[in-house]
Amino acid sequence: MRKRLLVTWLGHNDLRPMAACQPAGVKDQILATVGGESHPNEGGPIKTLLDLEPFDKVLILSTFKADWSKRYANWTGHSVEVKQVEIKAPTDYESIFRAVSGVLEPLRDQGALKTHELALHLSPGTPAMAAIWLLLGKSKYPATFYQTYQGKAWKTDVPFDLAVDFLPDLYAHADMKLQHLAAKSPGEVAGFEEIVGTSKEIRTAAGRSKRAAIRGVPILLLGESGVGKEMFAQAIHRASPRAEGPFVAINCAAIARELLESELFGHQKGSFTGAAADRVGAFAEADGGTLFLDEVGECDLEFQAKLLRVLQPPSNASPCHRATTSRL
């Protein structure tokens, strides 16, 4: 039987009952922030669920003071982990999405979502937070949903499947569905200020790029030489959660095939003639940021196969993962 992992926001209705058990000064501060009155006999959404359903691991996302979060974790009487996250506002979908992705992506990469059944609690937090849970739990991170109310907890059946019910229609009418992306010129889109143009085509390209920028996925930019693919790559980098990391650009057509593999993946001292020292490749240099591979279509098919493999690295391994064997 798979273990169970619960991820939930910490909400106002969770802090109110906890406040009743805190010193007067802390209680007054909490209630001044969340409003309402504290009722010590009520558990609140999270504690109610934990009292009624067993979970092997509980991760609570909090935007409140770290001291309050710690007090809440102790007050529940359960083994829970609280992660402090930052969002612009509890109704800001983009920052909520980024915060949640910043928690779920590492869990997926570490293999936790293979060993654990993911459960998402819809009751705590704002409607915007619940909406993000629904979208991610029915698509990228399949999950079981829970709700709580008046001391009761239950699984919630969400009667739709994004892949089955919506995507086929979206693909069938892609142009019509994407018209809204052309509503703003590039200069009005954060990160794309250096892109100049007002045509419908460039507005749509900027809109699509903006949507892709907030997701941690490889992006393919198509276009003739000189149309500005690198400028778009830089704009995507600036608009992404990786904006503070490095931007590394490599022109694959300008580097000899014999040197390209070392340029991208690096090498270890003595791995070939002339390798006098270890070298960090472009993939490692761009870690935490963005790597732009220009003219990748000019690489031969054998090397393109290696690139495909590095875009899908082994579980729990870096893109430049090496397996080392020794003869005894």
- Please name which of 119, 9, 22 lies closest in space to residue 64, comparing C-alpha atoms: 9
Give the pTM: 0.57
- Please name which of 176, 185, 112, 108 lies closest in space to residue 141, comparing C-alpha atoms: 108
- Please name which of 253, 322, 243 lies closest in space to residue 281, comparing C-alpha atoms: 322
Same domain, 137 and 263: no
> Is residue 169 a part of any domain in this protein?
no
What b/e sequence results for 94-133 when a residue is b if at least 16 CB atoms lie within 10 Å of its CB, and e otherwise? ebbbbbbbeebbebeeeebbeebbbbbbbbbbbebbbebb
pLDDT at 321 over 60: no
Same domain, 262 and 152: no
Same domain, 146 and 18: yes
Q: pLDDT tens digits, residue range 47-59?
A: 999 999 999 999 9
pLDDT at 166 over 80: no
Examine the fold and report which residue of 89, 121, 156 is the final residue of a domain before the chain moves on.
156
pLDDT at 210 over 90: no
Average pLDDT rounded to a whole number, residues 119-136:
95
pLDDT at 318 over 50: no
CATH of the domain at 270: 3.40.50.300
pLDDT of residue 315: 52
Dihedral of the alpha carbons of 232, 233, 235, 237, in degrees to the nearest 10: 160
Examine the fold and report which residue of 141, 156, 171 is the final residue of a domain before the chain moves on.
156
Maximum mean pLDDT: which of 29-43, 49-63, 159-173: 49-63
> Is residue 166 a part of any domain in this protein?
no
- Burial environment of residue 77 by CB neighbours within 10 A (0 to 12, 13 to 18, 19 or more): exposed
Average pLDDT rounded to a whole number, residues 27-56:
91
> Is residue 25 a part of any domain in this protein?
yes
Q: pLDDT tens digits, residue range 67-97?
A: 999 999 999 999 999 999 999 999 999 999 9
Q: Where is pLDDT greater, at 71 or 287?
A: 71
Same domain, 144 and 13: yes
pLDDT of residue 310: 76
Name the pairing type of β-strands 116-121 and 3-9. Answer: parallel
Question: In the chain, how many domains are there?
Answer: 2
Q: Where are the alpha helices (DSSP H) in the chain?
A: 12-19, 24-34, 44-52, 66-76, 93-109, 112-115, 127-137, 167-172, 174-177, 200-213, 229-238, 257-265, 282-285, 301-310
User: Domain span at residue 141?
Assistant: 3-156
326: pLDDT confidence band, cut at 50, 70 and 90? very low
> Is residue 191 a part of any domain in this protein?
no
> Which token pair is 201?
């085509």
pLDDT of residue 225: 82
How far apart are the C-alpha atoms of 182 and 220, rounded to whole Å? 19
Query: What's the mean pLDDT when you consider all of the chain?
Result: 84
pLDDT of residue 325: 29
CATH of the domain at 140: 3.40.50.10770
Average pLDDT rounded to a whole number, residues 205-217:
81
φ/ψ of 143, rounded to 5, equals: -145, 165
> Is residue 40 a part of any domain in this protein?
yes
> Which token pair is 203?
């507005």
101: pLDDT confidence band, cut at 50, 70 and 90? very high
How far apart are the C-alpha atoms of 85 and 125, rounded to whole Å? 13
Examine the fold and report which residue of 125, 156, 187 is the final residue of a domain before the chain moves on.
156
Same domain, 30 and 143: yes
